[in-house]
Chain A
Amino acid sequence: MHEAPERVRRLKGLVVPVVVGAAVVAATFATTAAGKSEAKTISVAIVANGQMQDIAKLTPTLFTAKTGIKVKYTILDEGKLRQVTTRDVGSGGKAFDAVMIGPYEAPQFGSAGLLVDLTSQAKASKAYNYNDLIPAVRNALSAKGHMYASPFYGESSFLMYRKDLLAKAGIKMPLHPTWQQVAATARKIKTSSMAGICLRGKPGWGDLGAAFTTVLNTFGGTWWSAKSNGEPDKAQVDQPAFKQALDFYAKLVQDAGEKDAANSSYNECLTQYQAGKVAMWYDATVAAGFLEASDSPVKGKNGFAFAPHYKTSSTGWLWTWALAIPKSSPDPASAWEYISWATGPQYLKAAGSRVTGGWASIPPGTRFSTYKIPQYKTAAKAFAATTLAAMRAAPITNPGTTKRPGLPGVQYVGIPEFQDVGNRCTQLFSAVIAGSLDSSRALSQCQQIASKAIK
């Protein structure tokens, strides 16, 4: 009996929220529609390194002000960036208009038809100047003559050291040192407050995996042997050369390496080197720009030597962080406009006087024209020539002493399985470095992972 009026009241109560709700929904749609027609916004995923932080800061004044295109950055560390891009690019997600990838991903994603081929746009644009790109870098980002990503910076690896500290200890670092020389120096020079050398120990194929694999190569080891057609044949982690390399690396870090090595990679080592907590550092050449930057506490105190070697002559890696457009990008035209600006010669010239580190810390290693800018030549005098020579010498087609799959590639194996194997094995190796796992055990587990992956 009482039910009917009760219901009517309830219904009345419902009407108001429903109407308000509908109005809110309508208004939301209206604003998004209006927003789209007014200003374009693109989303870009980049890696959290210094030069990228710089461009993110400069984008509003140098790019958005001119083109009206707003850029929304997602800045992630290397490992997370890879997870995000693999997932987003691979599944055709529309989250990003441009993503930062490297020579490991670009040819694989490009050949799979997931990235926009940039070749014709790049060649057509006069301002971009395709022929100015350093060929080794350009080729590393191409597959069958198609360029799938435009390089933002390029790097090899080399040894950076404090000239002043080595001189005080009476040591002269040769231009082409061996690993044994470097290890002896590190052990001799370390003090209780300062480590002898900073080496990457953080798990991840692009972190510990990169630095360690260059050591592995020159110690005569390899992750896999290759069949005659270049495909992976058998896992080689259980071979003596692999153990020798891992033991050498882990022992060196334990004896004379940085504190908390198992959590240290490029950024951590950079901080510790700049703070005077390490005397030497084997890592990416791009770091030199920060060590010699105008605001660097160690400016002018650094020496640079080629990547240490043992059984091979040239061991430095080749890497480049480059911008690519996923096929699924909602706005590829704006994305290219952004990429051609961010990786073009004009940005390099404009950035020099604006970034906090000055000319020395502009993104290096992508264009010949960079090395002709007078201000850069002065600021980067200490390392520019070594960097260029190291990049030219990087043994991308013949990094070790034996035949191997996944070439070209120095500090990684260019096959899809390497990402998983590299990540899981470097976790084990990181534990070896930390002293919580025995190297024989780590290697036998890693051998199983590497064997299973290529089955």
Chain B
Amino acid sequence: MTATAADVALTKGRTGDPFSSAWRRRLPLLPALLFVIVITQLPFIISIYYSFTDLKDKTQSLIPEPTRFVGFENYRQIFSDPFFREAMWTSVKMTVLSVVLSLVLGTLFALLLDRKFLGRGLIRTLLITPFLLMPVVAALIWKQQMFSSLFGILNKGLNVLGFGSVAFISDHPLASIVTVLVWQWTPFMMLIVLAGLQSQPGEVIEAANVDGASSFGIFRQLTLPHLRRYLELGALLGSIYIVQAFDAIDVMTGGGPGSTNVPYYVYQESIGGGFRYGSASAYAIVVVIFSILIATFALRLLSSLFKDEGRL
């Protein structure tokens, strides 16, 4: 399989002479390409194979048992598995909420940072900090120092104001996780949008000002269309990363009710204790297909939406 992949790479889009200068320049890259194919695509193909078998590990010794080919059985089961459906729904809610909220907040912060004020550098650094933390650390900080109903800051605040304690993570697991994800990803969105804002030509805004446009009008008619590509990029990258959220779930709820997304469910089914690798692989494959579909669709939708807006 690697040989054919290499062949494809060799022949693709070239003049044919293997000793041409273009080819000689590419040759040193081949080992790296091969390496990437072997470590990324091979496991995926093996997963596809596993998804058609009943591979599981009853002794939990991580020594797989002899497997049987079961055809599409694993895929058939997916749609009758209520836990998988719930995990899908959780994934959708978690991703959409986190991406939208962090985009909105990120844009607001970016607009603030685009102005000149005293201590801007310091504020910018502070705002970026959450993104620099390891996800596990961020989740732990929120779990222990913010949300804890015994010694969390939020509950201390509530108590001071005369309200009773709220067990945030137990009672609102999804909202708690989304809060952490938004907190972590807002700086990322902010950076992208800020780059967009700073690439906006100043003369246009000036001209609009001279013409007597209101600042909200300028934002809606000029800035937002200009930011389209940046927002798209942020939404796309954010979705790709947040769909795979795992750390926050593992640390905060351990997959408690309403907080198991698809990656965490696949983990539970496989090395997380279920040890049913066959069906876990099938889940993973379905997720990949869905992710590609959703990403493509979302990108098109977003893109056409803003194009229409630009025309107005």
A residues adjacent to B (C-beta < 8 A): 79, 83, 86-87, 90-91, 108-109, 112, 114, 203-204, 259-260, 262-263, 416-417, 419-420, 423-424, 427-428, 430-431, 434-437, 442, 445, 448-449, 453
Contact = CB atoms under 8 A, between A and B. Distances in A.
B167 interface: yes
A259 to B, nearest CB: 6
B4 interface: no
Contacts of A449: 83
A259 B165 contact: yes
A437 B62 CA distance: 34
Given A87-B271, A259-B150, A434 B171 contact: yes
Interface string B145-189: 000111000000000000001010111000000000000000000
Contacts of B59: 108, 112, 416
B221 interface: no
B43 interface: no
Contacts of A423: 254, 273
Nearest to A205: B273
A279 B54 CA distance: 51
B61 A420 contact: no
A434 B170 contact: yes
- Label chain A's interface by main secondary structure: helix
A259 B149 contact: yes
A112 B61 contact: yes
B62 A87 contact: yes
Nearest to B256: A427
A448 B84 CA distance: 13
A347 B164 CA distance: 48
A431 B256 contact: yes
Contacts of A109: 61
A364 B273 CA distance: 31
A278 B150 CA distance: 14
Interface string B29-70: 000000000000000000000000000001111110000000
Nearest to B254: A203
Given A262-B167, A448-B82, 14 more contacts: A87-B271, A204-B254, A260-B150, A416-B59, A416-B60, A416-B275, A417-B58, A419-B60, A420-B275, A423-B254, A424-B268, A430-B170, A430-B256, A434-B167
A235 to B, nearest CB: 15
B18 interface: no
Given A259-B165, A260-B167, A420-B272, A427 B61 contact: no
B257 interface: yes
B274 interface: yes
Interface in B250-264: 253-257
Contacts of A108: 59-60
A416 B167 contact: no
Contacts of B82: 445, 448
Given A203-B254, A260-B149, A427-B255, A91 B275 contact: no
Contacts of A87: 62, 271
A449 B62 CA distance: 21
A420 B273 contact: yes
Contacts of B268: 420, 424
Interface residues of B, number: 27
15 contacts: A90-B60, A91-B62, A109-B61, A114-B61, A259-B165, A260-B149, A260-B170, A417-B58, A419-B273, A427-B254, A431-B257, A436-B171, A448-B82, A448-B83, A449-B83
A430 B170 CA distance: 8
B237 to A, nearest CB: 30
B242 to A, nearest CB: 22
Contacts of B271: 87
Nearest to A427: B256
Interface string B234-251: 000000000000000000
A259 B83 CA distance: 30
Given A79-B254, A420-B273, A430-B256, A90 B149 contact: no
A428 B275 contact: no
Interface hub of B149, B254, B273, B274 (most chain A Cβ within 10 A): B273
Contact of B60 (A86, A203, A259, A262): A86
B61 A431 contact: no
A90 B62 contact: yes
A428 B62 contact: no
A437 B275 CA distance: 27
A109 B61 CA distance: 7
Interface string B196-216: 000000000000000000000
Contacts of A442: 257
Given A79-B254, A112-B61, A436-B257, A263 B169 contact: yes
Nearest to A428: B257
B254 A260 contact: no
A82 to B, nearest CB: 9
A204 B255 CA distance: 11
Contacts of B63: 90, 112
B136 to A, nearest CB: 12
A451 B101 CA distance: 39
Contacts of B275: 416, 420
Q: Which 7 A-B pairs have the closest CB atoms?
A: A420-B273, A90-B62, A434-B170, A262-B170, A112-B61, A260-B149, A427-B256
A444 to B, nearest CB: 10
Contacts of B274: 420, 453
Nearest to A421: B273
B211 to A, nearest CB: 51
Contacts of A86: 60, 62
A87 B275 CA distance: 11
Given A259-B150, A431-B257, A434-B167, A416 B62 contact: no
A455 to B, nearest CB: 10
B137 to A, nearest CB: 15
